[in-house]
Amino acid sequence: VQLVESGGGLVRPGGSLRLSCAASGLAFNVWTMNWYRRAPGEERELVASIAPGGATNYRDSVKGRFTISRDNAKNTVYLQMNTLKSEDTAVYYCNALLIRQYWGQGTQVTVSS
């Protein structure tokens, strides 16, 4: 199983980024897909989840700004991040969860002026 994230980078406050996570080696459409992040000196935290049927959940601090989506035909999950804030700076990780879980290598998102 491989999860490969892309789309991270440096963006100014108020800007947008779209993260992608391409999955291979698993039956993507039956797995819950999650985005986590870890800020410097902080614990890893769950940002957003999308169930196989499309139901979504978000942590309160990103509601209304972030949108998680999935394309089962492309085995890819996305995280659209708008109105980014400095506190969104972190390494963002893709996670696949069913009976077990898998992790991507992470992609750095830096929000700074």
Structure tokens at 9: 């980078």
Q: For the chain, how big is the Rg over CA atoms in Å?
A: 13
- Contact indicator for 13, 85 with CB cutoff of 8 Å: yes
Question: How many percent of the chain have pLDDT more than 70?
Answer: 100
Q: What per-residue confidence (pLDDT) applies to 85? A: 98
Other C-beta atoms closer than 10 Å to the C-beta of 108 total 12
Instruction: Using pLDDT thresholds of 50, 70 and 90, give the confidence band for residue 110.
Output: very high
In the chain, where do the E strands start and end? 2-6, 9-11, 17-24, 32-38, 45-50, 56-58, 66-71, 76-81, 90-97, 101-103, 107-111
Averaged pLDDT for residues 3-18: 98
